[in-house]
Structure 1
């Protein structure tokens, strides 16, 4: 994409390095894709003594994609996305059954110098959301607002700026209705190693928090990640692509402040035959 990223993606590179693929439960995912445009993904998650699962079906035909998910509790989530409703745009209609108030319409417009996302709930008192960024792929400035028509109040307003260079990316966000300042940074040390940090300051309590982490490609099929937070939690992850597009991921986390607690460990297996 030549233009600025959508506002929701500001700081996403650092956040992904620090959080993506970490899992401290047992998770299994099986994905299958047919030549007709139909994709099927089954996911099972064991958390403590509870088991959760869902089946997700995606069908693509031309510029239209239909995404349907059924979970353990028989909730059905459906999303219909149409690309190029008009040039450089797409629209998505989503809803959940049996929640009749969950309907939502999202519209996105991407321009070489702007990215606009809007969302409206399809009910008598909808939640309205709008976000926009302007600039370029290298430097973007933007903001987002959310308005609840039921209470006639703003649910959120956020502003941010993002700078991207070939070897680093930095983002600065004013969040929580102006009550917190968050900064994130990711740097490619070399083609195999990246480091990232995320820091936040809350103005009302003067509280500061931070998380730092790294990602290192041991070989073309193995990635090792580490993470340390100011709350004393240390985590690591080892991910191996043991066959094309099939991954096995081992995660572990130790809380240095919880002396009597055992380390958390998780295993995730993703298969794509």
Structure 2
């Protein structure tokens, strides 16, 4: 959440989403029997301070998926407008707005496909948040999916989260529960379990103030050998303090700054038992 207001739409349910899903392997292995590993690269840049309350955000992922977005933050609301770039000549336009007062916020998000001339998706959500607790409810996928989540920082270094997803037209419900514990020396541990029988664990170590590395695993509870593992490296930097002062003074703007992040992840694309058999055959 933004420290000056309710933030933007993506901030609703963000803390629970990060605890339960960030840096874990994909939910299902690749269907390509000859592909042993998947590599994902995610880079993001946010420039702030050029205009009070306005930020420019850009993101690029590999396999290719790009985004450019303008974000405006206010004491009582936040607005975003931008485009996703699945293809240069067929951008998907998106906009969102969130309004909040005190501990409550509510917002909506629209996606417009310029190639088909139709709204590809529209979502709505609301949340209640405090410094240690957040609860949210969202209607996604054109009101076909309902999601509720909560996050609670039990004590300063321990947090728990829960999420329930309900597919309205299919009448399917799934639950996910997670726990995060911060240990000594910049190390943290996360675990999660879902009603579908999947269990996951992740260890993340901070090696430098701006560099993190994590090791994660995911498996079916009834057959742990049929699981996936992955490693992820995360670089995070904020241009501020002396660097920001030097840059902003040269441009005549004392508030100018930027946030940069880069994540590279390597996951095995096939169950572990398949990889062992593949290496033995070679």
Report the Cα distance in structure 1 between the residues aligned to 2:225 and 2:93, rounded to whole angstroms: 43
How do residues 1-16 of structure 1 correspond to structure 2 at under 5 angstroms?
Answer: 1-16=3-18
Contact 1:107 1:119 in 2 (8 A): yes
Contact 1:235 1:254 in 2 (8 A): yes
User: Quick check: 1:262 aligned with 2:264?
Assistant: no
Partner of 1:219, secondary structure, is coil
Contact 1:216 1:223 in 2 (8 A): yes
How do residues 97-136 of structure 1 correspond to structure 2 at under 5 angstroms?
Answer: 105-120=68-83, 126-136=91-101
Report the Cα distance in structure 2 between the residues aligned to 1:127 and 1:199, rounded to whole angstroms: 28
Contact 1:2 1:136 in 2 (8 A): no
1:179 to 136, 139, 144: 144
Query: Alpha-carbon deviation of 1:133?
Result: 0.2
Report the Cα distance in structure 1 between the residues aligned to 2:150 and 2:173, rounded to whole angstroms: 16
User: Quick check: 1:227 aligned with 2:192?
Assistant: yes
Relative distance call for 1:2 and 1:137 in structure 2 (3 A) is farther
* TM-score of the pair, normalised by structure 2: 0.67
Relative distance call for 1:176 and 1:16 in structure 2 (3 A) is same
Query: Alpha-carbon deviation of 1:8?
Result: 1.4
Structure showing the higher helix proportion among its residues: 2
Deviations, residues 152-196 of structure 1 (Å, cap 9, x unaligned): 211111110011112210110011101111001011111121100
Deviations, residues 194-235 of structure 1 (Å, cap 9, x unaligned): 100010111101100111000012324221211001110111
Report the Cα distance in structure 2 between the residues aligned to 1:139 and 1:219, rounded to whole angstroms: 34
Query: Alpha-carbon deviation of 1:23?
Result: 4.4
Structure showing the higher strand proportion among its residues: 1
How do residues 1-273 of structure 1 correspond to structure 2 at under 5 angstroms?
Answer: 1-23=3-25, 49-50=36-37, 52=39, 83-92=48-57, 105-120=68-83, 126-136=91-101, 138-242=103-207, 244-257=209-222, 259=223, 261-268=225-232
Contact 1:106 1:117 in 2 (8 A): yes
* TM-score of the pair, normalised by structure 1: 0.69
Alpha carbon RMSD of aligned pairs, Å?
3.4
Contact 1:23 1:268 in 2 (8 A): no
Report the Cα distance in structure 1 between the residues aligned to 2:58 and 2:230, rounded to whole angstroms: 35
Report the Cα distance in structure 2 between the residues aligned to 1:11 and 1:204, rounded to whole angstroms: 23
Query: Alpha-carbon deviation of 1:239?
Result: 2.3
Contact 2:176 2:192 in 1 (8 A): yes
Deviates more, 1:198-207 or 1:245-254: 245-254
Q: Which structure has more RCO (C-alpha within 8 Å, separation ≥ 6)?
A: 2
Partner of 2:24, secondary structure, is coil
